[in-house]
Amino acid sequence: MREPYSRDLDPAASATEGPVSDLRTWWPHPPPLGRWIARIAVWRDGGRGRRFLASLDDRMLRDIGIDRCTVDRESTVSFWRML
């Protein structure tokens, strides 16, 4: 496994290569704002996926193995309940 953050440990390397990004200074734990941004992205992607499933007709749902009842039930789940 390579060490992508090795220049954080070497002050001479970081001085010659410019500033280290915020993600690397917080590694391995992202800052709280980064976690919120990631959570919002998950919520948006889940909502987009649920809207897409709701737009499919019954024939397409049968092709992927999902029935309309399951799609209707899943589309009523609140966005914050997604993991």
pLDDT per residue as tens digits for the range 73-83: 988 888 777 65
> CA-CA distance, 68 to 77, in Å (whole number)?
15
pTM of the model: 0.53
pLDDT per residue as tens digits for the range 19-75: 555 545 656 666 688 888 888 898 899 889 899 999 999 999 999 999 999 999 988
Segments making up each domain of the chain, as ranges: 1-29, 31-83
CA angle at 39 for the pair 6 and 82, rounded to the nearest 5° = 135
> CA-CA distance, 50 to 71, in Å (whole number)?
8
